[in-house]
């Protein structure tokens, strides 16, 4: 039995996580309750943050610093939007 390489396992974990987050987004976005749309869009922001983090880690492994920095900036912007929406939600 062959042993899977760490990059193949990493890609599998990444894809499963991203698909799971997308399913959560679809569940909240396309139901009858309009209140859940806000939650669905917040989950979509979490999807883009997760994708940015996974891409930044992959770029670090490949020594692609420019792309890594761009992904980190993207993640920080997403976290800012998520915090802003959280503050609006709770106030």
**What is the tens place of the pLDDT at every residue in 39-88?**
888 899 999 999 999 999 999 999 999 999 999 999 999 999 999 988 98
Residue 16 lies in a domain: yes
pTM confidence score: 0.82
Residue 84 lies in a domain: yes
Residue 59 lies in a domain: yes
Q: Is the dihedral of CA 74, 80, 83, 85 positive or negative?
A: negative
- Write out the two tokens for 26: 């679809």
Helices (H), 30-64: 36-61
Residue 1 lies in a domain: no
Question: Do the beta carbons of residue 50 and residue 17 sit within 8 Å?
Answer: yes
Residue 73 lies in a domain: yes
pLDDT of residue 2: 62
Residue 69 lies in a domain: yes
Domain that holds residue 31: 7-90
Q: How many domains does the chain have?
A: 1
Q: Any idea what the Cα angle at residue 73 is, between residues 75 and 66, rounded to 5°?
A: 120
């Amino acid at each position: 039995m062959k042993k899977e390489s760490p990059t193949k396992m990493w890609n599998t974990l990444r894809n499963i996580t991203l698909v799971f987050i997308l399913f959560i987004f679809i569940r909240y976005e396309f139901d009858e309750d309009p209140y859940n749309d806000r939650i669905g869009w917040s989950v979509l922001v979490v999807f883009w943050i997760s994708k940015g983090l996974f891409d930044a880690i992959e770029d670090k492994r490949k020594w692609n610093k420019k792309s890594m920095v761009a992904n980190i900036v993207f993640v920080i912007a997403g976290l800012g939007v998520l915090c802003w929406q959280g503050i609006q939600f709770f106030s």
